[in-house]
With several copies, the nearest count.
Chain A
Amino acid sequence: SPETKQHFACEYDCYGDSYTGDTDIAKLKEVFSRMNNFQ
């Protein structure tokens, strides 16, 4: 729904990394693994 979309847009960047939650190796690896075919 637009509300959920809005919520995630506030919480996560377009690559799926949280704006506020600390990251670790596993989470960052997962974010990077989703980043294919980007400029």
Chain B
Amino acid sequence: MEKKVVRICPVSDPGTTYFLQIAWEKDLGAGFDVVLSDGRSAWTGKVPEEDISKEAADMEMEREKYIGELKKVLLFEGGLADKYNFDISKGGVDGECLNFSYEKNLKDVSFRLGSLMLQKVSGPAEVISELISYCLDCIKGLYSKNEHLQKENERLQSDLDDVQEQLQKCVEAKEELEMELYKRFILVLNEKKAKIRSLQKSLKEVEEAVLKTTQARHEK
């Protein structure tokens, strides 16, 4: 079962804070349970799947689009882009019933997204306790995830530093390799050039000696 607890202030009583808990199985569109509390009393209600379909049809809105709007208004998934209002009006003897409604604000007009009657709970302490317990469990889970992400973050940073160091070393090693190979090549190549010069010199000397001898014999 999925849950979300949000804080709302009704437009007709903006000074009072209410806590709205929505609970659903897998998909909000399949229906959801509502719990509303002001920290003293608690009211509960249900919105079944058929009511969601009926509301969307009445509004001439595609069902999926309507569910998207419900998520934005009831689960605060919309961010700050759209504006939504809530209202509460008490009914019945000693406010046993509560009419809870929610609407979307456009520029100059608001249109009602939905409403339902909530029944006052006879034992609010238990409902409020469960609500607080759910919040504490959320905190614990988030804190745990936070620690895990933090550790993961540190591991990734450490790995990144290591690989960057390896890359730096590789770049330096590549430059060093090039330098070392050229140095060695030059020495070996120069040995060959020295040998070539030496042979060329020997050949020239022999050829000159033969020429001198030939010239001397002709003169003789």
Q: Which residues of A contact B (CB under 8 A)?
A: 13-15, 17-25, 28-29, 31-32, 35, 38
B191 beta carbon closer than 8 Å to chain A: yes
Please tell me if the beta carbons of B186 and A28 are within 8 angstroms of each other in the complex: yes
Find chain A residues with CB under 8 A from B195 CB. 13, 19
Please tell me if the beta carbons of B187 and A24 are within 8 angstroms of each other in the complex: no
Question: Which of B179, B184, B193 sits near A18, CB closer than 8 Å?
Answer: B193
* Residue-wise interface mask of B (152-193) relative to A, using a CB-CB cutoff of 8 A (1 in contact, 0 not): 000000000000000000000000000101111111111111
Please tell me if the beta carbons of B185 and A15 are within 8 angstroms of each other in the complex: no
Please tell me if the beta carbons of B182 and A15 are within 8 angstroms of each other in the complex: no
Grouping DSSP codes into helix (H, G, I), strand (E, B) and loop, the A interface class, with mixed when no group exceeds half, is loop
Size of chain B's interface in residues, with CB distance under 8 A?
19
Please tell me if the beta carbons of B191 and A25 are within 8 angstroms of each other in the complex: no
Please tell me if the beta carbons of A13 and B186 are within 8 angstroms of each other in the complex: no
B197 beta carbon closer than 8 Å to chain A: yes
B89 beta carbon closer than 8 Å to chain A: no
Please tell me if the beta carbons of B196 and A20 are within 8 angstroms of each other in the complex: yes
- Whole-angstrom CA separation of A32 from B183 in the bound complex: 10
- Whole-angstrom CA separation of A5 from B185 in the bound complex: 24
- Whole-angstrom CA separation of A18 from B194 in the bound complex: 11
A22 CB, nearest partner CB in chain B, Å = 5
B133 CB, nearest partner CB in chain A, Å = 72
- Whole-angstrom CA separation of A23 from B184 in the bound complex: 12
Please tell me if the beta carbons of A32 and B181 are within 8 angstroms of each other in the complex: yes
Please tell me if the beta carbons of A35 and B193 are within 8 angstroms of each other in the complex: no
* Residue-wise interface mask of B (177-220) relative to A, using a CB-CB cutoff of 8 A (1 in contact, 0 not): 00101111111111111111100100000000000000000000
